[in-house]
Chains A and B, each alone.
Chain A
Amino acid sequence: MLSPLLDALIFFVLTTPLIGLMGQRFGREKIFVGVYVTFGFIFSLTLIPLFYSEVLRKNGISVTYGGSLSPEIVCLEANALSIFMAVIFLVIGFMASLFSIQEVRRGSITGYYTILLGMVTAMIGIVFSGDLFTLFIFWEAMCISSYALVAFRKERWESIEASYKYLIMSSAGSITVLFALSFLYGLTGTLNISYLSMSLAEAESNPLSYMALVMIIVGFGLQAGMVPFHTWLPDAHMAAPSPISAVLSGIMVKAGIYGLIKVLLSIFTPMSGPWQNTLAAFAVLTMFVGNLSALLQDDIKRLLAYSTIANTGYILLGLAIGSQRALTGSLFHVLNHAIVKALLFLCAGAFIHKTGTRSLKELAGIRHSMPITSTLFIIGTLSLASIPPLNIFWSELLIITGGLEAGTQAGTPLLSFLMIINLVFSAAYCLRMIQTVAVKKETVTSEKAAEASMWMLIPILTLGLLSILIGVYPSPFQNLAEAAAQAARA
């Protein structure tokens, strides 16, 4: 018994292939697997409120296996931060699985859904793990499923090339994290997060611990798309099937950010000065490179992928500023960006499904043939450009004011200023996307397109409504993010 949520999800992952087999016997594989996976997601989502109230009542729960809590024990922990991330992962994963009913070919549907569900489960395992050992196991499970999903359309050269690049870079990153973990283990003799932070606080500053810190920032940052290590991200997002791009950009990048938040804030608190400066430098570089490269793209999914890199930069910036307000902004931005980027990738997926092209030039004027999808795409783009009544505006505002509030020491107002410059760049490419979709004349390709089917429209509409809802009524969501930020700093 780990925890009810994780147990249920692991059960669903393991039984999906059996259901697929039964479906094949009856000749209705798609319906069987689709219904079963949807049921799995809904069931896990209903477990969340029960679990959340229990966590709030006990102020964080932990489950150990094999004995009582000691430095050597392996355990699961849940606090407000883990539940916050788990809800985001489940919602986006659910939307992607609804969307993919139309995308996936008949023969491979069981494998696809099993790996997708397994990836979401592994991510939830990451946020629930209370020691770095468990975290690493779930981390690798997530990475392996995502390599397989990027290479899913194996008959196309671009998915194979992107997946190979991604596999080499990402496994090098996770091995670097593992190496850092071995040093931490050597220094303290434990991998449990709460014991680690205690023993590191007692230990004298050792060059090995700084080495471990750098390696952890590099390894988790690689998964989060931090700039010198970002080159896998646009390729993988472009070559993967569209719902998988939404999952990669919406939540898998966030798992990397969760790793950074967890490790930096709870283990390396005594060394907060050095890592904050390092992280601030990386964050500024990340947002400039992301935004400037996005301006040059013609491929719609590549453009969105570069914008994901830029948004990672904003989130890391909030983490680097490190005050309560900025961290709340960061976590709130994780939520908002996951919703908006999943919305945009799913809309782009609907365009690509109907027209067969990813080029913005050929998608010009698609508003006339796909009105509903285009409207929601425009809502998402406006939100990405941080226009006030939509959701991303609020979290960016929190990060910027957090930077200004943190005072003049360490030059945090300068960071806020750099972020505002970046918001102008991002508004530029967002306006270009809107102009292409809505204002330009129709091309031959976009004239032929028809409105997307119902299974594609349901997740798109849900995510669009969520985006508007959070924009108009941000305070309850912001409170959740604030509770999560408090739990992260505790």
Chain B
Amino acid sequence: MACSVILFFIGLYCLIVKRNMVRLLMALEIMMNAVNLNFIALSSYRVEGSVHPLAHVFTILSIGIGGCIIALGLVITLYAYRHYRTLDVRELRRLKG
């Protein structure tokens, strides 16, 4: 569990500090994995030596959902690259107000 909390904060740190669009998506993925790890860890706390099926199901579905989000994010990144010719998020500041 401590490991998953550390992973979550690594992901959050990346999300705040990094400037590359693909790296931001990777940060999201790290956070997602932290959550999945946490689920498995916490479910094995309750029953000694085994993992509860509910946590398993949840984790597998949430890995699938994470895949969807990252796929869509990469598609949007691709279009953004075509428009801006860069992957730097600091360039994405034309919307203001």
Contact = CB atoms under 8 A, between A and B. Distances in A.
A72 B58 CA distance: 12
Nearest to B34: A179
A140 to B, nearest CB: 5
Contacts of A147: 72, 76
Interface string A14-40: 000000000000000000000000000
Contacts of B97: 234, 293, 296-299, 302
A168 B15 contact: yes
A148 B72 contact: yes
Given A144-B72, A179-B8, A151 B79 contact: yes
A178 B62 contact: yes
A189 interface: yes
B51 interface: no
A168 B24 contact: yes
B92 interface: yes
A185 B42 contact: yes
B30 to A, nearest CB: 10
Interface string A115-151: 0000000000000000001001100100110011001
Interface residues on B, range: 35 or more
Contacts of B94: 157-158, 161
Interface in B12-59: 12, 15, 21, 24-25, 28, 31-32, 34-35, 38-39, 42-43, 45-46, 52-55, 57-58
B69 A144 contact: yes
Does more than half of chain A's interface fall in helix, strand or loop, or is it mixed? helix
Contacts of B77: 164
Given A161-B80, A164-B77, A238 B95 contact: yes
B80 A164 contact: yes
A379 B34 CA distance: 50
Given A157-B94, A161-B94, A185-B55, A144 B80 contact: no
B80 A140 contact: no
A355 interface: no
Given A137-B65, A179-B38, A185-B39, A158 B28 contact: no
Contacts of B69: 140, 143-144, 167, 171
Contacts of B95: 158, 161-162, 165, 235, 238-239
Contact of A185 (B32, B43, B80, B83): B43
B28 A175 contact: yes
A182 B92 contact: no
B68 interface: yes
A160 B95 CA distance: 11
Nearest to A175: B31
Interface in A151-179: 151, 154, 157-158, 160-165, 167-168, 171-172, 175, 178-179
Contacts of B72: 144, 147-148, 167
A228 interface: no
Given A162-B95, A164-B80, A140 B65 contact: yes
B79 A160 contact: yes
Contacts of A72: 52-54
A330 B75 CA distance: 38
Contacts of A143: 69
Nearest to B81: A160
A274 interface: no
B10 interface: no
Nearest to A188: B46
Interface of A: 72, 133, 136-137, 140, 143-144, 147-148, 151, 154, 157-158, 160-165, 167-168, 171-172, 175, 178-179, 182-183, 185-186, 189, 191, 234-235, 238-239, 293, 296-299, 302
Interface of B: 1, 8, 12, 15, 21, 24-25, 28, 31-32, 34-35, 38-39, 42-43, 45-46, 52-55, 57-58, 61-62, 65, 68-69, 72-73, 76-77, 79-80, 83-84, 89, 92, 94-95, 97
Nearest 3 A/B pairs, CB to CB: A186-B42, A182-B38, A157-B83
28 contacts: A133-B54, A133-B57, A140-B65, A140-B68, A147-B72, A157-B94, A160-B83, A162-B95, A164-B76, A164-B92, A167-B72, A167-B73, A172-B12, A175-B28, A178-B35, A179-B31, A182-B38, A182-B42, A183-B38, A183-B42, A185-B39, A186-B1, A186-B38, A186-B43, A186-B46, A191-B58, A235-B95, A297-B97
